[in-house]
Homo-oligomer: A and B are copies of this chain.
Amino acid sequence: MFKILSKENKRRVGIIKTQHGDIQTPAFLPDATYGAVKTLSFEDVLKAGIDQILTTTLHMSIRPGDGYIKRMGGLHNFLNWQRPILTDSGGWQVFSLIHKSGNGKVTEEGAEFIMPDDGRKHLLTPEDSINIQANLRSDIFVVLDDPVIGSATKVENEAAVDLTVEWAKRAKKAFYKRYQLDDKKFDDQEKYKRPLIFSVIQGGNYKDLRKKCAVKLLEIGFDGYGYGGILLKDDKKTTRDMLSHFAELVPQDKIRYGMGVGKPDDVKFCIEEGYDLFDCVVPTRNGRHGYCYTSFGGINLKSSKYRYDNRQIDPECDCEACRIRDKRPGASRAYLYNLFRAKEISAMRLCSIHNLRYYSKLLGSYR
């Protein structure tokens, strides 16, 4: 269930009730691709002030396998993360495999692809994706969609929208079947203790296609809607224009999810446009490469200008690296600079923690 607590202009503060607790929105979800936010323990994630994570359905379904996770009592028990989990549809990974590597094809039935992890051929249908996420015992499902590449034509985009809508219908049907729901029961989420389910609005940079996709998906009816295609790598103005357009297409009472959004500036922009959820690998991936977000902009700790800098990454931060311990920063810029040079893993972890803490405080500042 989604409840808006307050609103100012387009921006809003809300709460999403799930079977594993509440998500205070706007909220950021770090990516725990293979069951861990890279280099971090879940205690690290909690200490950064993060209360919800994303895990990737496809990876989990192949290794260790959703049957395995089910046997282990679901993702929450397996990971010991007793808070909300959103699972993606597996679609992004599939299409990045298909579109980028040519290792498969999209058919009406689903996505056929060869997984590099096991070298085997897999078919992922919209129904499979729902059943996998159910086996994982996810709190928020995302239905399989057909994201197109940036160079796709309008005709290709329209075909992708049609397939996305068709798959969303099938996904919702599979969801009803799995949880023995009908339209009436679906609307009473709390009573029937069902997970939430999101679909993804595609349409590339064509507003009419986005609108067509939104209208049809709204007819089917989901708890939230994801913005498809942040990774189209368009110019910033076009992307932001489309991000705004998306927010207008999704009604007030529905959750707006900026999938793969993003850098702090993009997150701030989307919050002002009325988005509620975000996920991105940026804070942890950048952290692993020594790039840290701070109250005064980004800094790259691999740069030799930090060699003699014994200050904390950000004096306004209270993460393990920045916090004062024994009168000095837990890990100074100079120390981290040297750890990166020596390829010490602890530097990647400390900078990932720092960036997650930055995101956690950034999102918290709006709530």
With both beta carbons as reference points, the residue of chain B lying nearest to A288 in the complex is identified as B345
Chain B positions within 8 Å of A331 at CB level: 41-42, 80
Whether a CB of chain B sits under 8 angstroms from the CB of A348 is yes
- Determine how many copies of this chain the complex contains: 2
A91-99, A269-277, A322-330 - the one binding chain B: A322-330
Chain B positions within 8 Å of A329 at CB level: 80
Q: Say yes or no: B345 contacts A38, CB within 8 Å.
A: yes
Interface residues of A in 171-200 (CB under 8 A from B): none
Q: Say yes or no: B41 contacts A335, CB within 8 Å.
A: no
A318-360 CB contact bits vs B (8 Å, 1 = yes)? 0011000111111110110011011011111110000000000
A36: which of B64, B71, B320, B339 is its contact (CB, 8 Å)?
B339
CA distance A79 to B328 in the complex (A): 10
Whether a CB of chain B sits under 8 angstroms from the CB of A82 is yes
Whether a CB of chain B sits under 8 angstroms from the CB of A39 is yes
Whether a CB of chain B sits under 8 angstroms from the CB of A308 is yes
Whether a CB of chain B sits under 8 angstroms from the CB of A35 is yes
Q: Assess A330 versus B43: contact at CB under 8 Å? Given A36-B346, A80-B325, A80-B335.
A: yes
Whether a CB of chain B sits under 8 angstroms from the CB of A152 is no
Min CB gap A343→B, angstroms:
8
The size of the chain A interface, using a CB distance under 8 A, is 46
Q: Say yes or no: B335 contacts A43, CB within 8 Å.
A: no
Interface residues of A in 13-40 (CB under 8 A from B): 34-36, 38-40
Whether a CB of chain B sits under 8 angstroms from the CB of A77 is yes
CA distance A36 to B78 in the complex (A): 30
Whether a CB of chain B sits under 8 angstroms from the CB of A310 is yes
Q: Say yes or no: A335 contacts B35, CB within 8 Å.
A: yes
With both beta carbons as reference points, the residue of chain B lying nearest to A347 in the complex is identified as B36
Min CB gap A157→B, angstroms:
35
With both beta carbons as reference points, the residue of chain B lying nearest to A71 in the complex is identified as B308
CA distance A347 to B327 in the complex (A): 31
Q: Say yes or no: A344 contacts B35, CB within 8 Å.
A: yes
Q: Say yes or no: A344 contacts B38, CB within 8 Å.
A: yes
Q: Say yes or no: B39 contacts A325, CB within 8 Å.
A: no
A78: which of B43, B327, B334, B344 is its contact (CB, 8 Å)?
B334
Q: Say yes or no: B308 contacts A64, CB within 8 Å.
A: no
CA distance A331 to B77 in the complex (A): 10
CA distance A331 to B321 in the complex (A): 23
Min CB gap A118→B, angstroms:
12
CA distance A345 to B348 in the complex (A): 10
Whether a CB of chain B sits under 8 angstroms from the CB of A72 is yes
Min CB gap A320→B, angstroms:
6
13 extra interface residue pairs, beta carbon distance < 8 Å, beyond A63-B341, A78-B338:
A34-B339, A34-B344, A36-B339, A38-B344, A39-B345, A41-B321, A72-B334, A77-B328, A78-B332, A78-B335, A80-B326, A80-B331, A345-B345
> What are 13 A-B residue pairs whose CB atoms fall within 8 Å in the complex?
A34-B344, A35-B335, A35-B339, A35-B342, A36-B342, A38-B346, A39-B345, A41-B331, A43-B325, A64-B341, A71-B308, A78-B332, A80-B328
